[in-house]
A and B are shown apart, each in its own frame.
Chain A
Amino acid sequence: MRRRDFLGAAAGAVAFGSTPAKAFFSDTTAATPPLPPGILSGANSQLGHRLRSPKFPPPTQTKRVAVAIVGAGIGGLSAAWKLTRAGCNDFMLLDLEHEPGGNSRSGQNEVSRYPLGAHYLPLPPVEASATRELLAELGVLRGNIHAAHPSYDEKYLCHAPQERLFIDGFWQEGLWPAHGRASVERAQISRFQQHISTLRARRDASGRRAFALPLALSSADASLRALDKMTFSDWLKQQDYSAAGLQWMCDYACRDDFGTSAAQTSAWAGLHYFSSRDSEGQVLTAPEGNAWLTQGLARTAVAQTQTDALVYHVEQNAKEIVCDVFLGKENRSIRVIAKELIWAAPLFLIPHVFQSPPAAWLAASKSIAYAPWVVANLTLSEPLLRSTGSSLAWDNVLYDSPSLGYVVATHQQLRYAPAPTVITWYRALHEESAFSHKSTASHQHQLAKSPSKLLQSREVWAEEILSDLSRPHPEIRELVTRLDVHRYGHAMIRPLPGWLWGGARTVFERGHIVGKSAIHFAHADVSGMSLFEEANYRGVLAAQRVLKRLGVSFSRSL
């Protein structure tokens, strides 16, 4: 081995001193460069976790509105959007973060804007009519919003090459593992894809898709619903899908969309990922991820939005709903009294916030599990152009890695010269306890035994991220000028078997009417899958119900 190392170093020295060669051989010749600067940020857990032992100053002011919306993620923003579009402006939109957007917020530095979370929207199927209406309003979808394949603004359609996979030391085009795979394995992948096309085309007697997006519009066929009783892994086993590459792709899909491994995900959810869209993987994206969608929604309700606002107590009576809200920045509380409440915050908060909620809510909310996520933004002095195999794509996925790879923020920029860039690295903590949001004794005990990766320092994360990325890009450490880590404790609901069609979540779908007041739930948790289209659907649906109850006329989006 010594001779080999030696030769490597010698060759490096004669490779004309170019930076690539230096970077390439740096593993054997130079010490590891120090970690780049950066920050550790994330969801406002400090304010949020005050709900665990609620001691808040009593409200000093009372505001009356027709509608209170709690949570300014996609669900809450979509509800606000629908209300304002119908001319109803008498509402308040409350969120505990510093700015609206939930998982779809963005950051910006001198190089580019970049996502802090959700970063793409697959071309929505015709069933996602509210999402299509929004895209048309933003000028991105052109023509008839009910067309099978409407046209989209080139600026937002992901530019080619869209995705590549690093496998066996080689970047292959596309994500389905093909490079160096045996023909048996490829044959199995084609069989799976054939299977998926059949499921995609399948319609029941009333014309409903087997797997629709929003999922509420899916077929109620018992044989399909039964898929929610098993895990996706078990379904693959049952169908004799044993090829490693195929199993990887299915697991990757579940980690990507649900932050959960295929071994934990409901088979119905896993198949929904592949079968609910017709767009052949085309997506809309922007340097800032999905923040352009968030901002498109949020601009309609700027005056009604109150950030740094933690709703810590909700009480419903026959006349109205009383919400006590702690304003973090002002360190005081206010009381918001509304006729209608749209709850667009995660459902696990219900036991902490609602005054004597119905037992069914408590039971259901306790069975919800969440996946934590870590997202990192790496600013690079030059793009990662050097690679074996296909050229740098927007989405760059690593086989054999717990991470989901990275996306390139500047990919959608209309530029052709190589320039500094920002890449965003994603990692769902799919392996962490599915119920880690609960502060139970057993959970504390488990934390002490194996501390959550969520609690790791930025430095530990930075090392982990750089070593993950240095496999395909040995030069990465030389190029990173900044590395920010962003973490989310309860990033997304896990569609564990039973949650989607086991009946528990129907209490949230229905909402709760007491006399003249009503509570509506509008979070993606109600659907059981943390997808833009689901949150948007829930928000718009809740807003339509509210508008109807308030007697405001509106044109239906759904």
Chain B
Amino acid sequence: MPTNAPPALRAAMQRPLLASVFIVASCGLAYELIAGAMASYLLGDSVMQFSTVIGAYLFAMGIGSWLSKFVEGNLLVRFIQIELLVGLLGGLSAGLLFLIFTLHSGPFQFALYALVLLIGILVGLEIPLIMRVLKREVAFKDLVAQVLSVDYIGALAVSLLFPLVLAPQLGLVRSALLFGLLNALVAVWALWLFRAQIGVQNLLRAQSLTVIVLLLAGFAYAGKFVSLAEANLYAEDIVHAESSAYQRIVVTRWRDEIRLYLNNNLQFSSRDEYRYHEALVHPALAALPGARRVLVLGGGDGMAVREILKYPQIESVTLVDLDPRMTTLFAQSDLLRQLNQNSLSSPKVKIVNADALKWLEASSEMFDFVVVDFPDPSNHSLGKLYSTAFYRLLKQHVAQTGLVVVQATSPMYARASFWTVVTTLETAGWQATPYHALVPSFGEWGYIIASQHDYHAPLAIDVSTRFVAADTLPALFHFPKDMARVETEANRLDNQILVRLFEREWGRVQVH
């Protein structure tokens, strides 16, 4: 600011500048909160995301403050340009991040931190520049006191406004755009306010106009954009979503296809789940004409039970699933009851919501057929459900002539993991008969029949099926070269080798 400006004018400008500090501070905090919320929304683990985003942001602000000493020339023009840039980047940040996430989850973290650093650096430049503009007008102690207190008040305002009003009412994408607009308006305001000092700047005006138009357009189309991006993410409508004590349950529908996701992992698609569940149940159960009592461990969606109830001789099915929210959902939702043919409401079915290990330890019941349909062994807790100890425990509950079938991940993508489950069953004293089936949603999937005598595939399957048939059954027991047996150790509780193997094999698949 030229020192020859009349004192009255200087006083008049001081207030607007402080007002802009307030807005600038609000926007600065808002972008940080938006990035943090975005990251925890899309990536989960909110504590981790928030603290790393905040850390990176504060660090970037430090860089910005340090860089400010290199900013020379007309400070007001620079300030206006920085405002425009912050407005544009910050305003579009949420939308950009969303778009990048839905296109490919790979570069998302990179984009997130790049954006956080960039915005942080720009925001870090703002306050030092304003202070340099004002320092010629105000004594230093007043300057620091005024600017910083307004800075903090701005931050407070947003920190309350954001979670209480903006995020719930506008959503993250629109909130970001709103703050972007505020930044741009500060720029325009400054352009008008200091027209006497900086003269007519056509380029600067054009820049301002472009940014504002872009942001306004973004605001107008945000709704469409978000639904497009979300549709990209799930490619389907969410018809049910809830968090139980154990997991996040999401059911989606796209046209006539219904999908179940647990913790973002696809459990089934209604298009081909019949393949998965027919292959799970019939090869064993069709070979057990004398079976009366059946146990299903996991499988709270009732699909396996649906297949089991096709056999009229079955007298009782005990379903042990940890999560009462799952079994309630699949027993009550009309949409989902159509899928499992209301199997969970059958008078033959008894539902137990318990830890399967705990339940087996306490129970003395015997069964002719057991379906073991647990989630894949992706952590040490689940790994216990694939251990020699578990299979030995199971043995105490299966009749001498009975059969067990175990879902055992993909022999194609997780070949060593699959054969580890085979070895583990054998080590626990079972005869293991592995087989596989193609389920398009999952790829090539693996199952193992465990028995205490030689297992012979059934010569006929007398219940109605769409996929499994007696004449094509032998092919399922044949393993082509790329899925053939590999030598592995047994998965014991004291080594839990399966968890590591599984992590490595599926990690490799997901990189592609």
Asked if A7 and B493 make an inter-chain contact with CB atoms under 8 angstroms apart, the answer reads: no
Assembly CA distance A471 to B120 (angstroms): 29
Chain A residues contacting B58 (CB-CB under 8 Å) are 4, 7
Q: Which of A3, A13, A15, A155 is close to B389, meaning CB atoms less than 8 Å apart?
A: A155
Which of A110-118, A157-165, A180-188, A321-329 contacts its partner? Answer: A157-165
Our pick among B32, B495, B496 for the contact of A7 (Cβ within 8 Å) is B32
Q: Are A416 and B46 in contact, with the CB atoms below 8 A?
A: no
Which of B50, B246, B392, B493 contacts A15 (CB under 8 A)? B50
Interface size, chain A (Cβ < 8 Å): 36
Does B18 count as interface, using CB distance less than 8 angstroms? Answer: no
Q: Which residues does chain B contribute within 8 Å of A21, judged by CB atoms?
A: 46-47, 50
Q: Mark contacts of A145-171 with chain B using CB atoms, 8 A cut-off: 1 yes-contact digit, 0 otherwise.
A: 000000000110111111000000000
Identify 13 new A-B residue pairs, CB closer than 8 A, beyond the known A157-B493, A414-B389.
Answer: A7-B54, A7-B58, A9-B159, A11-B50, A11-B51, A14-B163, A15-B47, A20-B46, A160-B493, A161-B380, A416-B322, A416-B385, A417-B381
Q: How far is it, in angstroms, between the C-alpha of A315 and the C-alpha of B296 when the chains are bound? A: 68
Interface assignment of B384: CB less than 8 Å from any CB of chain A: yes
A-B contact pairs, 23 of them (CB 8 A): A6-B152, A6-B159, A7-B29, A7-B32, A7-B159, A8-B54, A10-B162, A11-B51, A14-B36, A16-B40, A21-B47, A154-B388, A154-B494, A160-B495, A388-B48, A414-B357, A414-B389, A414-B393, A416-B356, A416-B384, A417-B358, A418-B246, A418-B381
Q: Is A282 an interface residue (CB 8 A)?
A: yes
Asked whether A2 is an interface residue with its Cβ less than 8 Å from the other chain, the reply is yes
Residues in chain B near residue A159, CB distance under 8 A: 384, 493-494, 496
Proximity bits, A380-397, B CB within 8 Å = 1, else 0: 000000101001000000
Tell me if A10 and B29 are in contact (CB < 8 A).
Answer: yes
Neighbouring B residues of A501 by C-beta, 8 Å: none
Interface residues of A in 1-47 (CB under 8 A from B): 2-4, 6-16, 18, 20-21, 24
**Interface: A415 (CB within 8 A):** yes
Number of interface residues of B (CB under 8 A): 45
Known A155-B389, A160-B496; contact A13-B163, beta-carbon cutoff 8 A: yes
A12 CA / B162 CA spacing, docked (Å): 12
The answer to whether A11 touches B494, judged by C-beta atoms less than 8 angstroms apart, is no
| B361 interface residue per 8 A CB criterion | yes
Taking CB atoms and an 8 Å cut-off, the chain B residues in 493-510 that contact chain A are: 493-496, 499
A interface residues with partner B (beta carbon < 8 Å) = 2-4, 6-16, 18, 20-21, 24, 154-155, 157-162, 282, 386, 388, 391, 414-419
Known: A16-B46, A161-B496. A416 touches B382 (CB 8 A): yes
Q: List B residues 278-300 near A (Cβ within 8 Å).
A: none
State which of A6, A16, A414, A419 has its C-beta within 8 Å of the C-beta of B384: A414
The residue of chain A having its C-beta at the shortest distance from the C-beta of B57 within the complex is A7
Specify which of A15, A18, A416 is in contact with B381 (CB 8 Å cutoff): A416
B residues sitting closer than 8 Å to A (CB atoms) are 29, 32-33, 36-37, 40, 46-48, 50-51, 54, 58, 152, 155-156, 159, 162-163, 167, 246, 322, 355-358, 361, 379-382, 384-385, 387-390, 392-393, 492-496, 499
Q: How close is A148's CB to chain B, nearest CB, in angstroms?
A: 18
* Chain B residues whose CB sits within 8 angstroms of the CB of A8 once the complex forms: 54
Q: Cβ of A162: which chain B residues have Cβ within 8 Å of it?
A: 494
Closest residue of chain A to B360 (Cβ to Cβ) is: A414
Whole-angstrom distance between the alpha carbons of A557 and B221 in the complex? Answer: 84
Chain B residues positioned under 8 Å from A20 (CB to CB): 46-47
Task: A10 to B46: give the CA distance in the assembly, Å.
Answer: 13
Given contacts A2-B152, A10-B155, A415-B355, contact A15 B492 (CB under 8 A): no
**Cα separation A251 to B493 with both chains bound (whole Å):** 30
Chain A: minimal CB distance from B40 (Å): 7
C-alpha spacing A154/B493, complex, angstroms: 7
What A residues does B50 contact at CB under 8 A?
11-12, 15, 21
Instruction: Return the chain A residue nearest B49 by Cβ.
Output: A15
A161 to B392, CA, bound (A): 21
Who on chain B is nearest to A475 by CB?
B47
Given A160-B495, A416-B382, A416-B385, also A15-B46 (CB < 8 A): yes
B33 touching A10 by the CB < 8 A rule? Answer: yes
For the complex, give the distance between the alpha carbons of A373 and B159 in Å. Answer: 48
Question: Would you call A6 and B496 a contact (CB within 8 A)?
Answer: no
> Which A residues lie within 8 Å of B48 (CB)?
388
Contacts of A10 in B (CB 8 A): 29, 33, 155, 159, 162
Query: Are A11 and B381 in contact, CB atoms less than 8 angstroms apart?
Result: no
- Do residues A160 and B380 form an inter-chain contact, with CB atoms below 8 A? yes
Cβ contact of B47, chosen from A24, A160, A391, cutoff 8 A: A24
In the bound assembly, the distance between CA atoms of A13 and B159 in angstroms comes to 8
A154 CA to B428 CA, complexed, in Å: 11
Residues from chain B with a CB closer than 8 A to the CB of A161 are: 380, 496
Q: Are B32 and A15 in contact (CB under 8 A)?
A: no
| Chain A residues with CB below 8 A from B152, complex form | 2-3, 6
Chain A min CB distance to B182 (Å): 18
Q: Which residues of A contact B499 (CB under 8 A)?
A: 160
Distance in Å from the Cβ of A497 to the closest Cβ of chain B?
A: 36
Tell me the bound Cα distance from A419 to B354 in angstroms. Answer: 12
With a 10 A CB-CB cut-off, give which of A10, A158, A282, A415 has the most chain B CB atoms. A10
Distance of A404 from chain B, by nearest CB (Å): 22
In the complex, which residue of chain B has the Cβ closest to the Cβ of A20? B47
Provide the bound-state CA to CA distance between A391 and B29, in Å: 34
**Known contacts being A7-B32, A416-B355, A416-B385, is A391 close to B380, with CB within 8 Å?**
yes
Q: Which residue of B lies closest to A153 (CB)?
A: B389
Q: How far is the CB of B207 from chain A (nearest CB, A)?
A: 30
Alpha-carbon separation in the docked complex, A414 to B358 (Å): 7
- Whether A14 and B37, one on each chain, are in contact in the complex, defined by CB atoms closer than 8 angstroms, is yes
Contacts of A3 in B (CB 8 A): 152, 155
- Cβ contact within 8 Å between B355 and A14: no
Residues in A neighbouring B322, C-beta threshold 8 A: 416-417
B contact residues around A418 at 8 Å (CB): 246, 381
Chain B residues, Cβ within 8 Å of A13: 159, 163
**In the complex, which residues of chain B have a beta carbon less than 8 angstroms from the beta carbon of A12?**
50
B36 proximity list for chain A (CB < 8 A): 11, 14
Cα distance A473–B496 when bound, in Å? 25
Nearest residue (CB) in A for B155 is A6
A24 to chain B, nearest CB (A): 5
Residues of B with C-beta under 8 A to A414: 357-358, 361, 384, 389-390, 393
Q: Residues of B contacting A388 with CB < 8 Å? A: 48
Q: Let me know if A391 and B379 touch, CB within 8 A.
A: yes
Known: A7-B58, A11-B54. A154 touches B492 (CB 8 A): yes
Contacts of B388 in A (CB 8 A): 154
Q: In the complex, A170→B46 CA distance in Å?
A: 18
Q: How far is the CB of A1 from chain B (nearest CB, A)?
A: 11
Query: A-B pairs with the 3 shortest C-beta distances?
Result: A10-B159, A160-B496, A157-B494
The complex places the Cα of A9 from the Cα of B155 at a distance, in Å, of: 12
Q: What residues of chain B lie closer than 8 Å to A157, measured between beta carbons?
A: 492-494
Using Cβ atoms and an 8 Å threshold, which residues of chain B touch A391? 379-380
B141 to chain A, nearest CB (A): 18
